[in-house]
Every structure is written in structure tokens, then in C-alpha cells.
Amino acid sequence: MKKTVVANWKMNPQSLREAEGIFKNVKKKALKLKKVKTIFCVPAVYINRLDSLCKNPMFIGAQNCFFQEKGSWTGKASAKMLKNIGADYIILGHSELRKLGETDENINTKIKLTLRNRLNPIICIGENERDEEGNYFSVLEEQLLSILKGVGSKFSEKIIIAYEPIWAIGKASKKIINSKELLQTVIFIKKILVDKYGVKNLEKIQVLYGGSVNTRNAEDLILNGGIDGFLVGRDSLIPDHFNKISQIVEYSV
């Protein structure tokens, strides 16, 4: 299976013109990659246009949807709407939304809605802090099991897990995970997935890492961290950096 590199543009850039500029600069390189699938998770307002410029192995994704199917919900977008304007993937459960009050139960509902609408969820999990006693393992287990509650094994090939330790995300983060800590955590996540979906489904579920991925740390993390790719925030808005990270992943296979 190809490795996966996801760009999470968050609420950037501020104009469609800039969005096309970033996209086109990445596209030139992304189309040449043989072993990497690139997913651009962009603000919903750019999905339609960027989807029209997109070509395999590139895909467009959204960054959220609402947990209701349709109706009187001012300001919200449904999973079906996002699918209908061209999204194939969707980031769910990002810590920036959890911080605003999104619960595991909301995320679980969204996962089911997106799968019903043939969108592939990129599901974020991650601990707030890494305590020495290792309590973060049970935090991860609880998150994973509650957001995947009732999601059957027939969906295993649709699901991508993004492990994003909150303490390592964004410019406020003081440190980044090292590849040994990452490997240990990924093995733990995979063990939970095996228990839930069985060994034969494990290889269908990709586990990505996100949180301050950059051109300097990508090589060690992909070679030694046991992951299937990255979810990149800040550096996904800088085409040269993002292209370099994708290249590193391409050569890691």
C-alpha cells in the first residue's frame, strides 16, 4: 500500500488565488510520486475548485463536518455536502476542535456519517501530555475505542488514524516526539486496532503521525517510527517544505 501524506491547511490561506498557488506548486511534485498518496485537507470553500485541479495520486479532503445529517443548523456543513462538492477524505476529531467542545461521542457520530457518505475519515487521536507513569496509553485507548464504537471491520480499509500528541502540535509546542516514543505508541495503537478488527484487517488501516512534522525530523520519524505517513500542518502551506517531506516519505519505502 502507498504511504500517505496529508496537508492540513487549517484556516489558511485567505484567498482562492493563494490556495491555487500553493496547490499548483505541490501538484507538480506530487504527481511524480510513485509510493505516496497526497491528500489536501483544505478549507471547505476551496474544495470544489481544487478538486477540479486534482489528479490521482492526489486527493481533496475536508477538515470537519457537522454531526447532524441535514436541516436547520446555521453555519454548518454536512458530510454529504462535502462529498458532493468533491471531498474524498475528511479530518475528524482534531484537537483544535476538541478544545472548542467537540466530544468523543460527536466524533463517533461524524465518523459514521462520513462513512455512510463514502468519505474516508482521517481520525485524530492524541494525549494532552506525556506523563511519566504512562497514563497517556489509557487516554489513547479510551479515545480510540469510544470514537470507533459501532464502526465495523468492513470499514477498516476506509479509516486512517492520525496520532497527534497535543503537546507536539503547532508553534506553541516546545518539543517534538522522538522516533522511539513514536514507535512505542504506534505499536500500542495497532494492538488496540488488532483487538478490535483482527490481524487481517490491521494492514488496511494506516496510522499517520502529526505534530510539528518538518523537513528536519521527517526522515527519522518515517524510517523508525512505525508509521504509514504524516499529517502536516504549518509546513503544508510552504510548498518547498511539503514537497521535501513527501519526497522523504517516497524514499523511505
Under 8 Å between Cβ of 250 and 229 = no
71 φ, ψ to 5°? Answer: 115, -155
Q: Does 213 bind ligand PGA (CB under 6 A)?
A: yes
For residues 135 and 126, give the distance between their C-alpha atoms in angstroms, rounded to a whole number.
12
Among the listed residues 164, 177, 206, 207, the single contact to ligand PGA using CB under 6 A = 164
| Catalytic center residues | 94, 164
Q: Does 126 bind ligand PGA (CB under 6 A)?
A: no
Q: Closest CB to ligand PGA among 210 and 226?
A: 210
Among the listed residues 170, 194, 204, 247, the single contact to ligand PGA using CB under 6 A = 170
Q: Closest CB to ligand PGA among 113 and 231?
A: 231
Q: Does 231 bind ligand PGA (CB under 6 A)?
A: yes
CA dist 12 to 9, 20, 49, 79, 155, Å? 6, 12, 15, 21, 31
Q: Closest CB to ligand PGA among 86 and 210?
A: 210
Give the shortest CB-168-to-ligand PGA separation in angstroms: 7
Give the shortest CB-41-to-ligand PGA separation in angstroms: 9
Quick one: residue 124, left, alpha or beta (phi over 0 = left, psi -120 to 50 = alpha)? beta
**Which residue type sits at 106?**
N
Per-residue buried b or exposed e for 47-60, using 16+ beta carbons within 10 Å of the residue's own CB: bebbbeebeebbbb
Among the listed residues 126, 211, 229, 239, the single contact to ligand PGA using CB under 6 A = 211
Residues within the interface to ligand PGA (CB under 6 A) = 8, 164, 169-170, 210-213, 231-234
